[in-house]
Amino acid sequence: MIILGVDPGTLVTGYGVISADRGTMRLLAAGVIRNKSSHSMPLRLEAIYDGLETVIDRYAPDEFAIETAFYGKNAQSALKIGQARGVAMLAAVHRELPTSEYAPRAVKKAVTGNGGATKEQVQYMVRSILKLRTAPKELDASDAVAVALCHLTHRSPRTASSRAAQDWKSYIEQNPGRVVRQQ
């Protein structure tokens, strides 16, 4: 199972790709898509879309997870983040990736145990959970890895495949590792 996590922003969009197989988690990639503030919004959105398409093509994730917009005091910021989220989700949908969304507090709580954790605390826990020698340099990249880790902890058996099981037979066919056979 490969999960792409995204921390959206119009100037800096973080991404993190993790693999999870039989209880072992590995970081495959973490980075940022950086835009210049002098670029127009359409060019920034294009860069986010193109950058995530490149990540998707390279790592072939099975699922996509993104952080929801934070609604603070500045409505203009929330609108811009919404635009970044939209093009990020579009890149995932164009590649037919199941997509999930998580609130920032839920991501922090899943990774640190505290919904009010700082970005530095999230970065530290990402490093600890994945047993990395060094944490991702960019806070936005470690936040994106945290989104992927949050998704991994919230996945239900029905999201193990892009198609939901319609009955027990198809569930067993889609999830052979979850079936215990009597001997």
Distant-in-sequence, close-in-space partners of 12: CB < 8 Å, separation ≥ 6: 32, 33, 34, 35, 138, 140
pLDDT for the residue numbered 155 = 78
Q: What is the pTM of this model?
A: 0.82
The token pair that represents 75 in the structure block: 């409505």
Q: Is pLDDT of 172 > 90?
A: no
Rounded to the nearest integer, the mean pLDDT of the chain is 88
pLDDT for the residue numbered 74 = 73
Domains delineated in the chain: 2-178 (3.30.420.10)
Q: Write out the catalytic residue numbers.
A: 7, 67, 140
- β-partners of residue 32 are 14
Q: Is pLDDT of 138 > 60?
A: yes
Identify the three-state secondary structure at position 123. Answer: helix
